[in-house]
């Protein structure tokens, strides 16, 4: 008798956790792709990528000497 109640409780708990996770992921992805400031963030990320690449090139040149 107790195992049925426990199994139902666990199934309900897991379902609630799953629904909450999907909702938060959907909201996060929506904010990521439809945010008006996304283009500004993408430019900043591209700039950071160039700086990081330059740092790797400089480091590899120092190792090669």
Q: What is the pLDDT of residues 43-52, one digit of tens each?
A: 666 677 777 7
pLDDT of residue 53: 78
pLDDT of residue 51: 73
pLDDT of residue 15: 92
In this prediction, residues 6-26 reach a mean pLDDT of: 88
3-class secondary structure per residue, the chain: CHHHHHHHHHHHHHHHHHHHHHHHHHHHHHHHHHCCCHHHHHHHHHHHHHHHHHHHHHHHHHHHC
Q: Kindly report the pTM of this predicted structure.
A: 0.45
Work out the pLDDT band at 17, boundaries 50, 70, 90. very high
């Amino acid at each position: 008798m107790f195992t049925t109640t426990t199994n139902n409780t666990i199934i309900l708990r897991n379902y609630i956790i799953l629904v909450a996770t999907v909702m938060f992921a959907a909201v996060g992805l929506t904010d990521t792709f439809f945010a008006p400031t996304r283009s500004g963030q993408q430019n900043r990320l591209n700039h950071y990528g160039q700086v990081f690449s330059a740092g790797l090139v400089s480091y590899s040149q120092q190792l090669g000497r």
